[in-house]
């Protein structure tokens, strides 16, 4: 009876501060069991840490059928006394006095076994993969990164602004939106000239899921000075790459009275803050992920292995200034580069104005500068309508932060705050003024220079965890043809 009153303690707390002789109750999932005639060792994990607690069971004193049900994946509740561990690998262990199986996981059916499974296989069982060390680690790091972001912006006095998911605008103008409708798709109402009659739709106009919270973010920044949004965004781009998702999370700060330089400073400070936070607060998970990546690298041919380990890369980014290079200078470097001269790039750089592909971005970061790079002042024709036009008539005050192994991780700009210039650009790009009258109003009433950017949250998690595929840093990835779970 007494034992029932002990409250459950999480394994992380026990391993951090547990003292011998304390009476404890633990709950979690079995990772492994080793059994001999007299004693059984169970490695228990409850997700609070990557480390397991070792449970020691007196076999003759344990109910036989209970013992049989303690298999990999089963959930259990155990009570007993903490003791200093005799064995190597852990400082304390739990001498079990009472154990209960809460839920069995039949060995013939449970797909996770105590061995390394491929990431491809685990993607097919994304509902169970959080129970592996790798995914537990990735999701704990992901949580810490979200926490770090909120702390960073809160301490600077930014307001966390919730921008809408449902919207009628396509902020990036790339036409990659997911439509939202309640119309009966088998019987779509049409207007007299044969177009879909959106007047009869739920919002009485054409609507989609947001691709960015920026435009709404600007409205708020032009009232309270500094805001950030952090939420899911949706893009129906049909790109099956290791860096694209159809649903991804974006952090978008927007700052009144910031020019492009101020915005680059903020982005660099934020990224370093996040990396430092991970190094300080995710030690065990990063040590595991570092080792995991080292093992993976060993499978690659020597010349394709990265020069730095995950931890070295994180330390390097936290400690070193990013390189800031104009688009024009970058194009010169790329034109003269070996892979361009030797036609090794898939897309050769011929002239100023070319859009940069990830192969070019990664060349600049990984081969040329060997550090994160911020490219700025891009040709206006490859960038969005809202970016501030520079005096040269050719470029806009845009900036992209490029990271090793990732390529573009942040995209942003100074915004065109001059109403006439903005309207002119919208006209050139065929963006109807009427649809964005609310946006144009901010330029009419008390406009100010302002800037902002968007960080792809999953790409940042890829960088911090060393995971090569973006599908493995979000719990339930959405990609073309894949919306399971
Ligand atoms: O460069 P993007 O398209 O910029 C914007 O959306 C701006 N409205 C941001 C702003 O200024 N407030 O996207 C920003 C970042 C990219 O640098 C990339 O890291 C990430 O979002 N991103 C994606 N991440 C995963 N999957 C996708 N399909 C992504 N598209 C962009
Ligand atoms: Mg971009």
Cα 307 from Cα 366, distance rounded (Å): 10
Q: State phi, psi for 319 to the nearest 5 degrees.
A: -100, -20
Ligand 1: residue whose CA is nearest its atom 31: 456
CA of 401 to the centre of ligand 2 (A): 9
Q: Which ligand is nearest to the CA of 215?
A: 1
Ligand 1: residue whose CA is nearest its atom 4: 411
pLDDT at 302: 84
CA of 359 to the centre of ligand 2 (A): 15
The minimum-distance atom of ligand 1 relative to the CA of 246 is 28
**Secondary structure of residue 98 in the 3-state scheme:** strand
Which alpha helices (H) appear in 76-132, and where do they start and end? 119-124
The minimum-distance atom of ligand 1 relative to the CA of 245 is 26
HEC readout, 90-155: CCEEEEEEEEEEEECCCCCCCCCCCCCCCHHHHHHCCCCHHHCHHHHHHHHHHHHHHHHHHHHHHH
**Secondary structure of residue 235 in the 3-state scheme:** coil
Model confidence pLDDT, tens digit, residues 29-49: 999 999 999 999 999 999 999
CA of 411 to the centre of ligand 2 (A): 4
Strands across the sheet containing 207-209: 166-167, 207-209, 179-180
Cα 1 from Cα 15, distance rounded (Å): 26
Buried b (16+ CB within 10 A) or exposed e, 238-264: eeeeebbbbbbbbbbbbbbebebeebb
Ligand 1: residue whose CA is nearest its atom 9: 454
CA of 456 to the centre of ligand 1 (A): 5
CA of 354 to the centre of ligand 1 (A): 19
pLDDT at 1: 47
Q: State phi, psi for 283 to the nearest 5 degrees.
A: -55, -50
Which alpha helices (H) appear in 371-465, and where do they start and end? 419-428, 437-444, 457-465
Q: Which ligand is nearest to the CA of 230?
A: 1
Which of 417, 157, 185 is closest to 266 using CA atoms?
A: 157
Q: Best mutation site among 454, 462, 479 for ligand 1, i.e. most ligand atoms within 8 A of its Cβ?
A: 454
CA of 406 to the centre of ligand 2 (A): 13
The minimum-distance atom of ligand 1 relative to the CA of 459 is 19
Mean pLDDT of each 10-residue bin along the chain, 485 residues long: 73 90 94 96 97 96 96 97 84 95 96 92 94 97 98 98 94 86 96 96 96 97 98 93 96 98 98 98 98 92 86 96 98 96 95 94 94 98 97 97 95 98 95 93 97 98 97 96 90
The minimum-distance atom of ligand 1 relative to the CA of 250 is 21
Q: State phi, psi for 103 to the nearest 5 degrees.
A: -150, 125
Q: Which ligand is nearest to the CA of 387?
A: 1
Identify whether the C-beta of residue 254 lies closer than 8 Å to the C-beta of residue 452: yes
Pocket of ligand 1 (CB under 6 A): 171-172, 212, 214, 235, 237, 244-245, 248, 250, 252, 408-412, 452-454, 456, 458-459
- The DSSP H or E segment spanning 36 is none
CA of 235 to the centre of ligand 1 (A): 10
Identify whether the C-beta of residue 415 lies closer than 8 Å to the C-beta of residue 387: yes
The minimum-distance atom of ligand 1 relative to the CA of 470 is 25
Cα 41 from Cα 9, distance rounded (Å): 19
CA of 382 to the centre of ligand 2 (A): 10
Cα 404 from Cα 318, distance rounded (Å): 13
Query: How is domain 131-176+211-472 classified at the architecture level of CATH?
Result: 2-Layer Sandwich (3.30)
Ligand 1: residue whose CA is nearest its atom 23: 456
Q: Which ligand is nearest to the CA of 413?
A: 1
Taking the chain, what is the end-to-end CA distance rounded to the nearest angstrom?
Answer: 41
Cα 254 from Cα 258, distance rounded (Å): 9
SS3 content of the chain, % helix, strand, coil (to 5): 35, 25, 40
CA of 453 to the centre of ligand 1 (A): 9
Q: Residue 126 gets which letter from DSSP?
A: T
The minimum-distance atom of ligand 1 relative to the CA of 413 is 11
Buried b (16+ CB within 10 A) or exposed e, 415-425: bbbeeeebbeb
CA of 400 to the centre of ligand 2 (A): 7
The minimum-distance atom of ligand 1 relative to the CA of 174 is 3
Query: Which two structure tokens, joined as six digits, stand for 483?
Result: 């919306």
pLDDT at 4: 54
Question: DSSP letters along 292-325, please?
Answer: HHHHHHHTS-GGGS-SS-HHHHHHHHHHSPPEEE
CATH code, 11-103: 2.40.50.140
Ligand 1: residue whose CA is nearest its atom 7: 454
Which of 331, 357, 334 is closest to 346 using CA atoms?
A: 357
The minimum-distance atom of ligand 1 relative to the CA of 244 is 26
Ligand 1: residue whose CA is nearest its atom 17: 410
Q: What is the bridge-based pairing of β-strands 226-234 and 159-160?
A: parallel
Domain boundaries, the chain: 11-103, 131-176+211-472
Query: Which two structure tokens, joined as six digits, stand for 313?
Result: 């890369």
CA of 151 to the centre of ligand 1 (A): 22
The minimum-distance atom of ligand 1 relative to the CA of 254 is 12
Q: State phi, psi for 111 to the nearest 5 degrees.
A: -75, -15
């Amino acid at each position: 009876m007494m034992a029932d009153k002990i409250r459950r303690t999480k394994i992380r707390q026990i391993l951090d501060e547990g003292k011998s002789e304390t009476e404890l109750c633990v709950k979690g999932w079995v990772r492994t069991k080793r059994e001999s005639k007299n004693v059984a060792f169970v490695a228990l994990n409850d997700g609070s840490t990557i480390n397991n607690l070792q449970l020691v069971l007196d076999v003759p004193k344990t109910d036989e059928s209970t013992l049989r049900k303690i298999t990999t994946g089963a959930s259990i509740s155990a009570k007993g006394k903490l003791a200093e561990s005799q064995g190597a690998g852990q400082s304390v262990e739990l001498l079990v006095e009472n154990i209960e199986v809460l839920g069995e996981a039949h060995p013939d059916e449970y797909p996770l076994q105590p061995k390394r499974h491929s990431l491809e296989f685990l993607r097919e069982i994304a509902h169970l993969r959080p129970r592996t060390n790798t995914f537990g680690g990735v999701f704990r790091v992901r949580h810490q990164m979200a926490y770090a972001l909120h702390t960073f912006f809160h301490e600077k006095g930014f307001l966390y602004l919730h921008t809408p998911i449902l919207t009628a605008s396509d902020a990036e103008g790339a036409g990659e939106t997911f439509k939202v409708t309640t119309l009966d798709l088998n019987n779509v109402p049409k207007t007299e000239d044969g177009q879909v009659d959106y007047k009869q739709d739920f919002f009485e106009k054409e609507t989609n899921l947001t691709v960015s919270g920026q435009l709404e973010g600007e409205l708020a920044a032009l009232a309270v000075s500094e805001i950030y949004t952090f939420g899911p965004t949706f893009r129906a781009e049909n790109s099956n790459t290791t860096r694209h998702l159809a649903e991804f999370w974006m952090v978008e700060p927007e700052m009144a009275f910031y020019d492009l330089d101020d915005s680059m400073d903020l982005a660099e400070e934020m990224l370093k803050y996040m990396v430092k936070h991970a190094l300080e607060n995710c030690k065990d998970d990063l040590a595991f992920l570092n080792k995991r990546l080292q093992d993976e690298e060993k499978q690659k041919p020597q010349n394709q292995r990265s020069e730095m380990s995950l931890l070295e890369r994180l330390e390097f980014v936290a400690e070193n200034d990013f390189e800031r290079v104009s688009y024009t200078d970058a194009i010169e470097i790329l034109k003269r580069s070996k892979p361009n001269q030797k036609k090794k790039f898939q897309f050769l750089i011929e002239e100023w104005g070319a859009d940069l592909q990830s192969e070019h971005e990664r060349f600049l970061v990984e081969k040329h500068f060997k550090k994160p790079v911020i490219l700025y002042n891009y040709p206006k024709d490859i960038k969005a309508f809202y970016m501030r036009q520079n005096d040269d008539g050719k470029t806009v005050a845009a900036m992209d932060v490029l990271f090793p192994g990732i390529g573009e991780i942040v995209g942003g700009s100074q915004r065109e705050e001059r109403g006439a210039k903005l309207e002119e650009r919208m006209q050139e790009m065929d963006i109807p003024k009427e649809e964005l009258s609310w946006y144009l109003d901010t330029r009419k009433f008390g406009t100010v220079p302002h800037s902002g950017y968007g960080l792809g949250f999953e790409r940042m998690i890829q960088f911090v965890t060393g995971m090569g595929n973006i599908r493995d840093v979000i719990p339930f990835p959405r990609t073309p043809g894949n919306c399971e779970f």
